[in-house]
A and B are shown apart, each in its own frame.
Chain A
């Protein structure tokens, strides 16, 4: 099977679009990731045996064939990147030269790369999280009880010195923060939880927003780095399912959509008083991609939070946060295709 990957430059003044650096792929694209940065510089596109790095203008900076089957990937704002296979993590310098191989006795579930730290979450019960300092590659590991292997996710800020963990343990959802290799807190949110699917944090690591779900209910949970939890937004749903979360660099303008649902919710977070509220919601013309448990569609937002990119079944839409209008529709021909966006100032 062969199809085309296209980086699109979209002008937010008139929403005109321009294709950038189009090329054909003969194997499915696994993931697209960007650094969790205030001013992200790179996009990393991963196929099972190839990695491509684009700069923020869509130019190809690096293209490399892999001699192993890639599964996960991460890139930091210096252009250093990491790829994992089932049990191994390969850390590369920005020029594509291999720096380190880390091989584990347990399966790798997630990796993230900040400018100072690399994190590796293993799919174990209890969950094991390894945090490597990039300066000397010394590591610290942390253990978290979970109901089941995989019922744990994490994310990091721009440099990686804030590591947020969300998990299901003892039937409840917990959120923890590790700051500079020291665990700050590990909070029981008080919400019964069958599974957790996502956590995202601001580039400065101050605020994280995560999702947990249980029978007939989805919970959106926002936490500040001092441990203060915002009021949790709970939604009754016909079936709990992973929820995509996108927000601006201040984590104040938030949008969430449950995979497989057409209800796009606009949330607002007041980080001073940690008040999380739903402002409004709209029904889109089609459902968000259902994807698998942790795969498929993901959303993204511009740094100012004005525009959110939402992945639906047959198209991506750009939604204006202020009035919830659809500013742009981009048709796609492949389901579960990952996507991300970078803000670019063109002078």
Chain B
């Protein structure tokens, strides 16, 4: 059987990584799937990474830029996040 001709085009795509630069923590918290989406929507493009440890109910939120007082205030009120210093 001869080689089958298949063309494979690779479009050049640049997607800048969201670097985790700032860290916030929440303790005694339950993060469900909906909460992850809610947190993302509150901080929009600043979202880099969320680590939720299910067994000890601790969440670490990493952001690309420092959160504003308003953003952190909302996250603190809803989930108890505070800044790690």
A binding-site residues for B, Cβ under 8 Å: 67-68, 88, 97-107, 122-128, 137, 139, 141, 143, 147-151, 194-195, 237-242, 258-263, 283-287, 290, 293
Contacts and interface: CB of A to CB of B under 8 A. Distances in A.
A120 to B, nearest CB: 10
Contact of A124 (B15, B36, B49): B15
B18 interface: yes
B47 interface: yes
B5 A239 contact: yes
Interface string B1-22: 1111111101111111110100
Contacts of B29: none
Contacts, number: 105
B49 A105 contact: yes
B10 A122 contact: no
Contacts of B16: 124-125
Contacts of A103: 36, 40, 49-52
B10 A263 contact: no
Contact of A286 (B1, B3, B7, B13): B1
Contacts of B3: 237-239, 258, 260-263
Contacts of B36: 88, 101, 103
Given A127-B17, A241-B6, A283-B1, 11 more contacts: A98-B54, A102-B52, A103-B40, A103-B51, A104-B18, A105-B18, A105-B40, A124-B15, A125-B17, A126-B17, A238-B5
The interface centre, meaning the residue of B4, B36, B47 with most chain A CB atoms within 10 A of its CB, is B4
A105 B2 CA distance: 44
B85 interface: no
Given A98-B54, A101-B31, A123 B15 contact: yes
Nearest to B7: A239
Contact of B10 (A126, A139, A148, A261): A148
16 contacts: A68-B33, A98-B54, A99-B54, A99-B55, A102-B52, A103-B40, A104-B49, A105-B49, A125-B14, A148-B14, A149-B15, A237-B3, A239-B8, A259-B6, A260-B3, A286-B1
**What's the dominant secondary structure at chain A's contact region?**
loop
Interface size class of B (residues with CB under 8 A): 20 to 34
A194 B10 contact: yes
Contacts of A261: 3-4
Contacts of B11: 148
B48 interface: yes
A124 B16 CA distance: 6
Contact of B54 (A68, A100, A127, A128): A100
Contacts of A293: 8
B48 A100 contact: no
Contacts of A147: 12
A145 to B, nearest CB: 11
Contacts of B4: 260-261, 287, 290
A117 to B, nearest CB: 15
Contact of A137 (B47, B50, B51): B51
A103 B53 CA distance: 12
Interface string B61-77: 00010000000000000
A259 B1 CA distance: 13
Nearest to A128: B17
Contacts of A283: 1
